[in-house]
Amino acid sequence: MKIRLQNVVKTFDTFRAVRDVSLDIESGELLALLGPSGSGKTTILRMVAGLEYTDGGQIYFGETDATNIPVRDRGVGFVFQHYALFPHMTLNENIAFGLKVSRVKRNRAEIDARVQELLRLVRLEGLGDRFPAQISGGQRQRVALARALSVDPKVLLLDEPFGALDANVRRDLRRWLREIHDELGITTIFVTHDQEEALDLADRVVILNQGEIVQQGTPKEVCRQPNSAFVMTFLGDTNKVSGIAKNGKVYVGNTEVQFAYGQADGPVEIYARPADLEWEDLHDGIPAQVTRVLDRAGERRVIATTREGDLLEFDVPPESSVEAGDNGHVVIRRAKIFPAAARA
């Protein structure tokens, strides 16, 4: 089912949570809505579900204008952040709920069969008679998914599905969600503030900030070609160095940084991942002094300060002899350069 949002707006009292968002979601796609808290991603998800109504704009399910259709009739499967499993029902009864209240009448045997099928899908067969309180967080999340799938939804919506779980459990569930999606082929949208999760799972990532879409694309596209400092810093560890652009070249202090920069002269900010910086004693680079060295398993992380006062973090080989107090140069191998933001 293809989903289209067109100029969608949502305001809470005076807070504009979602400002004029337009988005196309292809049928069968696994899409991530990624952004910091307050970016409007959960609100958008809930509007697609019908758990909030838009204050402006339309939402289309396929060719149908679903903007005013109540949640009950939209045929969405919603997985809540805190699972929202019915505590007084067994897992079997939880999953069966949507089937029992459905307009399509099924008999007892059909419902039971479907419930068992779903339990198998989420690898919880045999636990059907337990209560939500008796299973782990990761298992609850799987039951919530099974329940959402029970109504054969046109679109699957997940609100921070793995937010409340341990890091290891999250990684496992992530992998497993991808498998399920590939097997079933349902259009899926999930909301997260964890960039690793979004990049790992999604076919396409939509990055939101303060109610607007900042960038969208495949994980590769948004990682390799971030269109703004915000996207760059949000997607991963970044080093920032201030510089000046003059006549198409970029300078940090007196050092020329070898990157093509086609925009106007003026102050710029240079963003580089830790992996794209190297420490050199002798060659050209940005002069800096090491302030701290952090030893970790498998790597040594160096924190150095440039003459201009910028802090840089990068890794050196574990056997390197760099120590705090050393003077040297930092060479930037790859970077993204953006005009310096106007001081807001």
Site residues, other proteins (CB under 8 A) = 12-13, 42, 46, 49-53, 55, 70-73, 76-78, 80, 82, 84, 86-88, 97-98, 101-103, 147-148, 150-151
Q: Which is nearer to other proteins, 160 or 269 (CB)?
A: 160
Q: How far is the CB of 67 from other proteins (least distance, A)?
A: 11
User: What residues form DSSP beta bridges with 158?
Assistant: 79, 190
**Cα distance between residue 11 and residue 55, in whole Å:** 7
264-292 core/surface letters (b: 16 or more CB in 10 A; e: else): eeeebbbbbbbebbebeeeeebbbbebee
DSSP secondary structure letter of residue 323:
-
Q: How far is the CB of 220 from other proteins (least distance, A)?
A: 33
Q: How far is the CB of 42 from other proteins (least distance, A)?
A: 8
Q: Which is nearer to other proteins, 162 or 234 (CB)?
A: 162
DSSP 244-262: EEETTEEEETTEEE-----
The answer to whether the CB of 22 falls within 8 A of the CB of 3 is: no
The answer to whether the CB of 10 falls within 8 A of the CB of 54 is: yes
Q: How far is the CB of 236 from other proteins (least distance, A)?
A: 29
Q: Which is nearer to other proteins, 102 or 320 (CB)?
A: 102
Q: What count of residues does the chain have? A: 344
Q: How far is the CB of 164 from other proteins (least distance, A)?
A: 13
**Cα distance between residue 153 and residue 49, in whole Å:** 11
Q: Which is nearer to other proteins, 16 or 240 (CB)?
A: 16
Tokens of 129: 């008679």
Tokens 């900030």 label which residue?
A: 209
DSSP secondary structure letter of residue 297:
T
Q: How far is the CB of 136 from other proteins (least distance, A)?
A: 19
Q: Which whole-number Å values give the CA distances from 17 to 10, 288, 325, in the listed order? A: 6, 43, 48
- Give the amino acid at 225: Q
Q: Which is nearer to other proteins, 153 or 243 (CB)?
A: 153
**Cα distance between residue 336 and residue 263, in whole Å:** 13
The answer to whether the CB of 335 falls within 8 A of the CB of 259 is: yes
The answer to whether the CB of 42 falls within 8 A of the CB of 51 is: no
- Give the amino acid at 188: T
Q: How far is the CB of 12 from other proteins (least distance, A)?
A: 6
Q: How far is the CB of 140 from other proteins (least distance, A)?
A: 13
Tokens of 1: 């089912």
Q: Which is nearer to other proteins, 80 or 176 (CB)?
A: 80
